[in-house]
């Protein structure tokens, strides 16, 4: 089985992770093991996760689930709430969950309090 080489990686990777992978590949060649097995044994994913997130942010990727309420729905929710409608009624009308409407209203209140 050929040893995985960092030069064949087509996905972007930080210099620190690249260095770790190169070191692991070299050690695996010396030990006669596949690099993947050595990585799984010696470099746990949770230790590389912050570096991977940082690399993704540097490429402009935020990650996570996209927000349910876009800017238009947020405006509608805030206008209806300002008119005195209940959160439940707004949720039914905009086809958002009660929790989402509550979060939009509370986030707007928190942002207004910070200004």
Per-residue pLDDT at 55: 79
Give a yes or no: residue 63 inside a domain.
Answer: no
Domain assignment of residue 24, given as a range = 6-58
Per-residue pLDDT at 1: 42
Per-residue pLDDT at 2: 46
Contacts of 91 (CB under 8 A, 6+ apart): 97, 98, 100, 101
Per-residue pLDDT at 42: 57
Give a yes or no: residue 1 inside a domain.
Answer: no
Half-sphere exposure of 81 (CA within 13 A, CB side): 20
Nearest to 92 by CA among 113, 76, 111: 76
Counted domains in the chain: 2
Query: Domain check: are 75 and 102 in the same one?
Result: yes
Per-residue pLDDT at 37: 53
> Is residue 54 within 8 Å of residue 22, measured between CB atoms?
no
Give a yes or no: residue 17 inside a domain.
Answer: yes
Per-residue pLDDT at 53: 78
Give a yes or no: residue 45 inside a domain.
Answer: yes
Query: Domain check: are 54 and 86 in the same one?
Result: no
Q: From first to last of its 115 residues, what are the pLDDT tens digits of the chain?
A: 444 454 545 455 566 677 777 777 776 676 665 555 545 555 666 777 777 778 788 888 877 788 889 999 999 999 999 999 999 999 999 999 999 999 999 988 877 777 6
């Amino acid at each position: 089985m050929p040893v995985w080489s960092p030069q064949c990686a087509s996905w972007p990777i930080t210099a620190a992770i690249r260095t770790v992978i190169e070191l692991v590949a070299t050690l695996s060649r010396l030990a006669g093991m596949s690099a993947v097995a050595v990585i799984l044994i010696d470099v746990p994913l949770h230790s590389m996760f912050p570096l991977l997130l940082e690399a993704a942010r540097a490429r402009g990727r935020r990650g996570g689930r996209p927000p349910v309420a876009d800017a238009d729905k947020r405006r509608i929710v805030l206008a209806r709430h300002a008119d005195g409608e209940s959160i439940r009624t707004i949720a039914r009308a905009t086809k958002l969950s009660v929790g989402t409407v509550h979060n939009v209203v509370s986030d707007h209140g928190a942002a207004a309090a910070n200004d």
